[in-house]
Structure 1
Amino acid sequence: MMPFEKCPACGNEMIEKEVEKLLRGGNNTAALKVHAEVCLRCGERLYTQETVRKFEEIRANLEH
């Protein structure tokens, strides 16, 4: 179940789909495929709290 039915940025419909996310840290970059809610109009992406925590962990490791 998606927490947002409408995009918080523009009010349009959101759908869940797999997207590619690039994370950068220091001189390193990681490309990940994750699930996100994506706005059909403006492209706004919303990630779960768990996914955002993973982004933070990966970004911290990239900086070393």
Structure 2
Amino acid sequence: MKPFKKCPVCGGELEDKQVEKLLRGGGNTVSMKVSAEVCLHCGERLYAEEVVKSFEEIRGKLR
């Protein structure tokens, strides 16, 4: 089940997409391709909890 049926920012429609996420830390940058719910109106990205946890782990290693 998706946590949101509509964009929490503008109320637009959400669509599953593969997006590029840049993570920076300690002078380093990592580029990742991840799945996200993307608003077709405003472009807001919503990431699954496990994806956000992976961002935090990687940022911790970049410091």
TM-score scaled by length of structure 2: 0.95
Unmatched runs of 5 consecutive residues or more in structure 2: none
Structure 2: distance between partners of 1:24 and 1:32: 11
Q: Deviations over 1:14-60 (max 9, x none)?
A: 00000000000110000000000000010000001100000000001
1:20 and 2:20 are equivalent in the alignment? yes
Count residues with an aligned counterpart.
Answer: 63
Q: Which amino acid aligns with 1:47?
A: Y
How far is the alpha carbon of 1:2 from its aligned partner?
3.0
Aligned to 2:62: 62
RMSD after superposition: 0.8
| Deviant stretches of 4+, over 6 Å | none
Q: What is the identity percentage for the equivalent residue pairs of Structure 1 and Structure 2?
A: 65
Q: TM-score normalized by structure 1? A: 0.93
